Amino acid sequence: MVSINEIIIREVNPFDLVNIRVGNFWTDSQDYTSIVESIHQEVIDEIEGFLNLVAMDNRSRTVLLIGDGGSGKSYLLGRLKQTFNPKAFFAYISPWVDNDYIWRHILRYTVDSLIQVPEGQQQSQLILWLKSLSAFTKLNDTIWQILLSDRQKFIKHLKNTYKLAGIYNADIFFGVLHDLTDPELYPLACEWLLGDDLSEESMQILKVKSCIDTEDAAKNILANFGKISIETQPIVLCFDQVETTPSFDTNPQYIFHINAAIHNDNLKNFLIIITIVKDNLMRAKKLIPQTDKARIEKQINLRPINLNQAEAIWAYRLQSLHHQASPQPNTSIFPLERRLLEDTFPGGKTFPRNTIILGRQKYQEYKLSLLPPKAGETPLPVVEITKEIGNHPDAKPTVKVTIRKDRPVNNPVINQLSEEELIQAEFELIWQREIKKTQQKINKICFVAATELIQMLQLALEALQIQSVKPKLIAGKSASYSLSYQSPQGKIGVVWSEDANMTSFFNIMNASHKIVQQNLCQKLYLIRKAGVGDAKLKGYQLYSQIFKATQNIHIQPNLQSAHILATYQSLVNSAQSQDLVISGKTIQLPELQSLLCKSKVLENCTLLQDLGVVAKKPESPSKTKDLRPVKDFLLNMVKIQNFMGVPTLYSHTNSQFPDISDSDVKHLIDLLCQEKKVKIIDLKAKIQDQLICLVSQ
C-alpha cells in the first residue's frame, strides 16, 4: 500500500506535464482528452455547423476565433482536427515570415498537412483525398488499375471528369497527382506540390517544365484542390497565431485580404478558421477594410470556463497519481481544494491556463509541506488532522490528511530558488523538449522554406543584439533569401539558399554579384548545404568569382544549426501570441531573448560560430557522447520540482534521452552530489524509496 502523500513526494508536479505551448496539431502531439469535453463545446458545435454547410454547397466560409491569451485557441484547433478529421481534411497554417510569399506559404503548409497520416488511418490525407475523388470512386478495380498504369489515360480521365471546373494547368497538375500513386515518385510529387524549387533532373522525372514559384501559381494550385474535391470532403485551413505575422500591429490586413480573395475568386470547399488574440484584433480593427470584414461569416469569442470545468481539469491532471494510491483519496482533486478556485476566481469564471497555473502553485505548496526533515534534524511532530475538502454537493465533507503541520516552506533541506532562477531552469527544460520535437520534424535543411531559413537566422541575430539587422539585401525574386547586419568590421551580407534548381541558383549568384560589385557590404556570406553545380554552369562561374580567393565566405550549415534556429523561431511565435508560459508567467519577447542568452544555447550553433557572432568552440577529439545536456536536464528537473523520487528522475531522463543508459544517469547524479548541487535523502534506503533534492547553499 502506497499513500497518496508518498506518491506526491516522489512524483513530479502533474501540472508541469501540461505543455501550455501548443503549436501545429500535426507535429506537436497533444493529449486532447486532458480538456473537459464541455469546455468550448458550444464553439465546436457552431463550427461543425459551418463545416456541414461547406460540405453541402461547397461554398467556402470563414470563422474568426477570438480569445484572450490562455483561453485555448490553439488547443481548440487541435480538438477540432481530432473530432472532425473523419469528415474533413485539416491543414495547419503557421505564421508566415514574408508578406510577399503568403500564397506559397499557405500552399506549402496545406500540402505538408495533407501529407500527414490521420489517427486510425494507414495512408496520408493526400492519398485519402485522391482516392475519394468522384473521378475514381465510381470506377471498378480493373479500370482503376488501367488508369494507374497509364499516365496519359489517368490525365485524360481527370480532364474529362473536371472539364467544367476550370482546373489550372490541368495536364501538369493531374500528371503530378498520377505520380502520387507511384511509391517511388510520391516524395518528389509532394515536393513539387509543396512549392520546392526542384532540380532540372527532378522536373524531367515529373514531366513538368517549371515549379510553383509565383503567388498566382500557388493560389491556383490551392484552388485546384478545392475544385476537384467538391464531391468529397471540405478542406479546413486553420490559420494560427496570425498576430505574429510581419507588421501585423501596423498593417494587419494581409490575412484578411487573403481570406477575401478566397471568397472573391470563388475558391471552393474550404472552411477557413483564423485564431487571433483579442487585444491584437481590437487594435487592428480600424485598419481592416470593411470589404474584408464582410467576408468573415462569424466571429466567435472564446468565453471563460466555469469552476466545475476548472475542477474537472484539475481532476484529470491528478487522476494518474490517484490511481497509484491506496487507499484512494476521498476527492478527485486532492490535495487541491474547491475553495482555492472560489477564492482565486470569485466571479466564478476563469481560463484553462489560469486553472493550470493555480493548480501547479497550490500542488507544489502542499508537496513542500510534506518535506522530510534534514538529516540530523529533530523531526517535527506528525499531526493527523481533519480537514474540509471542497463544498460542492458531490464531495465528501471531510478527509483525514497526515501532514507536518508546522514545517515552513523554506525548510533548510533544500535550496529555495528565486523566481528568476526557476524561470531560467524551466526554460532550459522547455528548450530541450522543443528542440527534440524540431529534430523529429526537420530531417533535412531543405525541408524548411527558404524565406523561413533567413528569418530564423534574423531572429537569432536580434536575440544576440547584433546591430542593424535588416532583411532583403539583394534584389529580385530572391530578395527574401538575404539580410544584412552591422559588425565591428563593417556591414555584413548574408544569403541563404537551398534551392536545388540551378537556374534559381544562378539568379541568386547574379544578384549577389551586383552587391559585391557595388561594394554594398564589406563581406558576403553564402549559407548553402546544397551543391553549387559544376564549371559548365553560369551560376557556378559567378559563385567562383564571388567566393573563391576572396574575403567572402561560403558556409555549409549542419542540421543541428537549423534545429537550433527553428526551435527559437517557434518559441518567438509563441511569445508574440502570448502562448509561452514559463513557471506560471507569460513570457514576452524581450524576456525570451534574455533567457536564450543566459542559457547560451545559441553558442552551440556552428552556423553562428562560422558567422563570427558567437565564439567558435574547439572541436572535441573525443568520440564519446556529450553528457552535458543530460546533466543540465537532471539539475533543472530537481530545481523546478524542489525534490522528487530518484526513480522518477531516471524515468523522465530516459524519456528525454532514450539513448542514455541508467549507468550514465547514475554517474551524472553522483557528479552533481559531489559538486554539492543536489543531495540524495536517506542513502541507506532502497533506490525506489530514495528522494533527491537541491542542496541548501
Residue 571 to residue 573: CA distance in whole angstroms: 5
In this structure, how many other beta carbons lie within 10 angstroms of the beta carbon of residue 134?
13
Instruction: Give just the sign of the alpha carbon dihedral 614, 618, 619, 620.
Output: negative
d(CA 403, CA 382): 6
* 35 belongs to a structural domain: no
Contact between residue 581 and residue 353 where contact means Cβ atoms under 8 Å apart: yes
Q: What are phi and psi of 511, to 5 degrees?
A: -65, -35
Whether residues 482 and 600 share a domain: the answer is yes
Q: Where are the beta strands (DSSP E) in 28-168?
A: 61-67, 89-93
Facing residues of 120 across strands? none
Q: How far apart are CA 243 and CA 95, in angstroms?
A: 8
d(CA 445, CA 297): 39
670: in domain: yes
Q: For residues 583 and 649, state if they share a domain.
A: no
Q: Residue 579's domain spans which residues?
A: 428-617
**Residue 450 covered by a domain:** yes
Same domain, residue pair 525 and 636: no
Question: Within a domain: residue 108?
Answer: no
- 604 and 634 fall within a common domain: no
Cα dist. 59→55, 222, 433, 515, 540 in Å? Answer: 8, 15, 41, 48, 49
Q: Is 83 exposed, middle or buried (0-12, 13-18, 19+ CB in 10 A)?
A: middle
Last residue of a domain, one of 211, 228, 245: 228
Residue 312 and residue 395 in one domain: yes
Q: Is residue 100 part of a domain?
A: no
- In a domain, residue 149? The reply is yes
How far apart, in whole angstroms, are the C-alpha atoms of residue 693 and residue 413?
8
- The last residue of one of the domains, among 174, 198, 228, is 228
Q: Which pTM does this prediction carry? A: 0.89
**C-alpha to C-alpha distance for 389 and 490, rounded to whole angstroms:** 67
| Same structural domain, 689 and 606 | no
Residue 519 and residue 606 in one domain:
yes
CB 525 within 8 A of CB 552: yes
Other C-beta atoms within 10 Å of 398: how many?
Answer: 11
Task: Give me the pLDDT at residue 136, please.
Answer: 82
The amino acid at 85: N
439 and 374 within one domain: no
Q: Is 486 helix (H, G, I), strand (E, B) or coil?
A: strand
Q: Are strands 482-487 and 235-239 parallel, antiparallel or unpaired?
A: unpaired
Q: Number of structural domains, the chain?
A: 4
Give the H or E element holding residue 385.
strand 383-388
Helix (H, G, I), strand (E, B) or coil at 238: strand
288 Cβ neighbours under 8 A, 6+ residues apart: 252, 253, 256
Question: What distance in Å separates the CA atoms of residue 631 and residue 624, rounded to the nearest whole number?
Answer: 15
Task: Examine the domain organization and report whether 492 and 599 are in the same domain.
Answer: yes
Quickly tell me which residue has 524509496 as its cell. Answer: 689
Per-10-residue mean pLDDT of the chain, 697 residues long, equals 90 76 70 68 94 94 91 88 92 91 95 91 90 80 82 91 88 94 93 94 94 94 91 92 85 90 92 92 86 91 93 92 92 95 95 92 92 50 37 35 38 66 94 92 90 95 95 91 93 94 94 94 95 92 94 96 96 90 91 95 94 84 80 95 92 93 94 93 81 81
Distance CA 444, CA 563 (A): 10
Establish if 551 belongs to a structural domain.
yes
Asked if residue 629 has a cis previous peptide bond (ω within 30° of 0), the answer is no
Q: Which of 364, 318, 322 is nearest to 4 (CA)?
A: 322
Amino acid at 685: A
Match 463544498 to its residue by C-alpha cell: 391
Residue 40 to residue 36: CA distance in whole angstroms: 9
Confidence (pLDDT) at 620: 64
Whether residues 477 and 601 share a domain: the answer is yes
Q: For residues 465 and 544, state if they share a domain.
A: yes
SS3 20: coil
Residue ending a domain, choose from 186, 206, 228? 228
**Does 341 share its domain with 453?**
no
Q: CB under 8 Å to 343, separation ≥6 — which residues?
A: none
Helix (H) or strand (E) holding 431: helix 419-441
Q: Is residue 505 part of a domain?
A: yes
